Amino acid sequence: FPEMLSNPKLVLVQGSLNVVMKQNVTLSCCPGSGAAPVRYTLFKHGQQVSSSNSSDLTPALFHLTISSASDLGTYKCKAEYNSSRDGKYSNSLDFTLTEPISKPVLSSPTSQVQKGQNVTLSCFSENGSLPITYIFFKGNQSISPKKTMQKREAAVIFIFVNSSTDSGTYKCKANNRFPNSAKYSNSLNFTLAEERSHSQPLIISLGLILLLLIIGFALAIPFFIIPSYKASE
């Protein structure tokens, strides 16, 4: 009787489990203990993909091309003797698709700020595989640690405006596991609103009072000055 087979091991020897379209990957079904010859079969979601025979217990290699979403999912291999219907299954490997991110959008509730004001900056990339990592910049200088978002939501930071140096041009950058995926957002320019002098409201009030006095005097002329002039004639 042949020696009892042990469970084989499925190993990724070329490529990545986070794949992009048209990527080539190679899987190795490594034998456990047992006797030759052995038949190895690769399955995806329980459906046979390919098979290979080994006469000396060398690993069986399976070359795949991830060309569509149907090629993604869970893979296993099975080792069995050619003369037996019983076999042993390996561990599973899961392929997931990595998609490039779209250009992130940087937004803020306001573009004009005042000293002492907190400003919110939000950076969001609508498309692309998660997780997505964001970082914020002022000019070419980063102003935040990397923020890695596991969900489809914006990364947010708060800026405290203390002086005119805090105004200027802001951007953010987003990237994920897709090769060379980094993209920069649009620019946001903040301007610092000038503080009004405390005397300005008083000056405006005095001006309005003076204007009302002039208008009142002009309206009073027909009623008081002209009748007095006629009476003196």
> Looking at residue 1, what is its pLDDT?
46
Parallel, antiparallel or unpaired: strands 112-113 and 188-192: parallel
List the CATH code of the domain at 105-192.
2.60.40.10
**CA within 13 Å, CB half, 34:** 25
Q: How many other C-beta atoms can be found within 10 angstroms of the C-beta atom of residue 104?
A: 25
Instruction: Name the pTM for this structure.
Output: 0.60
- Which residues sit opposite 197 in a β-bridge? none
- pLDDT per position as a tens digit, 36-65: 678 899 999 989 999 988 877 788 999 999
> Looking at residue 148, what is its pLDDT?
97
Rounded to an integer, what distance in angstroms lies between the CA atom of residue 22 and that of residue 97? 11
Which parts of the chain register pLDDT below 70? 1-3, 34-36, 82-85, 194-202, 223-233
> Looking at residue 55, what is its pLDDT?
79
> Looking at residue 92, what is its pLDDT?
96
> Looking at residue 207, what is its pLDDT?
77
Query: Which residue type sits at 231?
Result: A
Residue 62, helix vs strand vs coil: strand
Cα-based distances in Å from 201 to 5, 26, 116, 197, 204: 92, 77, 22, 8, 5
Given the candidates 2.60.40.10, 3.40.630.10, 2.60.120.260, 3.60.15.10, the CATH classification of the domain at 9-97 is 2.60.40.10
> Looking at residue 198, what is its pLDDT?
45
> Looking at residue 126, what is its pLDDT?
95
All structural domains of the chain with their residue ranges? 9-97, 105-192
Rounded to an integer, what distance in angstroms lies between the CA atom of residue 121 and that of residue 188? 9
- pLDDT per position as a tens digit, 33-44: 766 678 899 999
Rounded to an integer, what distance in angstroms lies between the CA atom of residue 143 and that of residue 136? 6
Q: Please say whether the beta carbons of 26 and 95 come within 8 A.
A: no
Rounded to an integer, what distance in angstroms lies between the CA atom of residue 150 and that of residue 206? 59
Q: Please say whether the beta carbons of 129 and 177 come within 8 A.
A: yes
> Looking at residue 177, what is its pLDDT?
86
Residue indicated by tokens 């030759």? 36
Token output for 111: 């573009």
Domain 9-97 shares a fold with domain 105-192: yes
Token output for 117: 């004001």
